[in-house]
């Protein structure tokens, strides 16, 4: 069972959910390159200009660990990274769990993504405003002093802090991506975990995904926000558990 975090956080966001599956599955947590405690110097903006590069990284981890029958659990942008990886090498995957997924964030004619292009520009601006306060360029200092872990402990928002330049680039790649064409190509069971009130991936997006993913199941969790695995971890675990026991014919 491979868990991949979404934009703006790292693998530690799974800590209320992942342990529940340790008894039955081999649980693998990873940080996407450019996030968490990954090697930030490996983040080449040219290579990571599309989500495909992250999908390749996920496949590389699966190969390295020799994983078969993978249950892929991806949050937010990583849900789509999972779809891309599974389309490329379906034989490795058993099923996908897509937590608060969205194939495209920006409205497009009849398609409702929830955002206009200008909204995304505003987000990038807000990230710049938080350059001094949010990630504050402190992370690179820690990355440069692996021998001084106490520096990390002093951080205000030590979880999910990231290099501002990388975060900005990753945000652009994430929010300008359009993976709608990749959906019908997925031929394996997929669970869509939709929050009832989610600004980032609204209900309309969840139902769109359900219509276009051939073997998908849609579960709407009664919670607000974009992180059901943090706000309602128990309901999240129950939904995944139910899907794995009934939805996956294996």
Tell me the catalytic residues.
76, 198, 226
Residues 176-195, mask of contacts with other proteins (x by CB under 8 A): --------------------
β-sheet with 216-224: strand ranges across: 28-30, 2-4, 70-75, 93-99, 190-197, 216-224
Distance from C-alpha of 174 to C-alpha of 178, rounded to nearest angstrom: 9
Quote the least distance from Cβ 60 to other proteins, whole Å. 26
CB of 212 to other proteins, least distance (A): 24
Q: How far apart are CA 10 and CA 159, in angstroms?
A: 8
Which residues ranging from 42 to 71 are in contact with other proteins (CB under 8 A)?
A: none
Q: Closer CB to other proteins, residue 121 or residue 246? A: 121
- Of the residues 31, 56, 89, 119, which one makes contact with other proteins according to CB under 8 A: 119
At residue 18, the 3 state secondary structure works out as: helix
Segment contacting other proteins by CB under 8 A, of 43-51, 116-124, 208-216, 236-244? 116-124
Could you give the angle at the alpha carbon of 144 between the alpha carbons of 140 and 150, nearest 5°? 90
Cβ atoms of 107 and 114 within 8 Å: the answer is yes
Task: State both tokens at 68.
Answer: 């078969």
- In the stretch 198-227, what mask flags binding to other proteins with x, by CB under 8 A? xxx----------------------xxxxx
Q: How far is the CB of 133 from other proteins (least distance, A)?
A: 4
22-55 as b/e: b if 16+ CB within 10 A: eeeeebbbbbbbbbbebebeebeeeebeebbbbb
Neighbouring residues of 16: CB distance < 8 A, sequence distance ≥ 6:
229, 230, 233
Tokens representing residue 202 in the block: 């609204």
- Write the CA distances from 138 to 45, 134, 167, 171, integer angstroms: 20, 9, 13, 19
x-or-dash string of contact with other proteins, 73-92, rule CB under 8 A: ---x----------------
Q: How far is the CB of 228 from other proteins (least distance, A)?
A: 11
Q: How far is the CB of 61 from other proteins (least distance, A)?
A: 23
Which x/- pattern over 121-160 shows residues binding other proteins (rule: CB under 8 A)?
Answer: xxxxxxxxxxxxxx---------------------xxxxx
Q: What residues line the site for other proteins (CB under 8 A)?
A: 6-9, 12-13, 15, 76, 115, 119, 121-134, 156-160, 197-200, 223-227, 230-231
């Amino acid at each position: 069972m491979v868990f991949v975090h979404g934009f703006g956080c790292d693998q530690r966001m799974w800590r209320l959910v992942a342990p529940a599956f340790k008894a039955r599955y081999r649980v693998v947590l990873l940080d996407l390159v450019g996030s968490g405690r990954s090697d930030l110097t490996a983040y080449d903006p040219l290579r990571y200009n599309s989500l495909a590069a992250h999908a390749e990284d996920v496949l590389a981890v699966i190969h390295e660990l020799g994983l078969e029958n993978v249950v892929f659990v991806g949050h937010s942008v990583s849900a789509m990274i999972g779809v891309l990886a599974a389309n490329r090498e379906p034989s490795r995957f058993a099923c996908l769990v897509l937590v608060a997924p969205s194939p495209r964030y920006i409205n497009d004619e009849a398609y409702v993504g929830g955002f206009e292009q200008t909204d995304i520009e505003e987000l990038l601006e807000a990230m710049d405003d938080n350059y001094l306060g949010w990630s504050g360029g402190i992370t690179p200092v820690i990355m440069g002093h692996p021998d001084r872990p106490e520096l990390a402990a002093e951080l205000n928002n030590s979880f999910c802090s990231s290099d501002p330049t990388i975060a900005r680039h990753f945000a652009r790649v994430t929010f300008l991506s359009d993976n709608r064409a990749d959906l019908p190509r997925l031929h394996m069971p997929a669970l869509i975990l939709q929050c009832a009130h989610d600004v980032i991936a609204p209900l309309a997006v969840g139902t769109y995904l359900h219509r276009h993913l051939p073997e998908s199941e849609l579960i709407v969790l009664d919670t607000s926000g974009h992180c059901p695995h943090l706000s309602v971890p128990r309901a999240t675990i129950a939904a995944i558990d139910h899907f794995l026991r009934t939805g996956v014919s294996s």
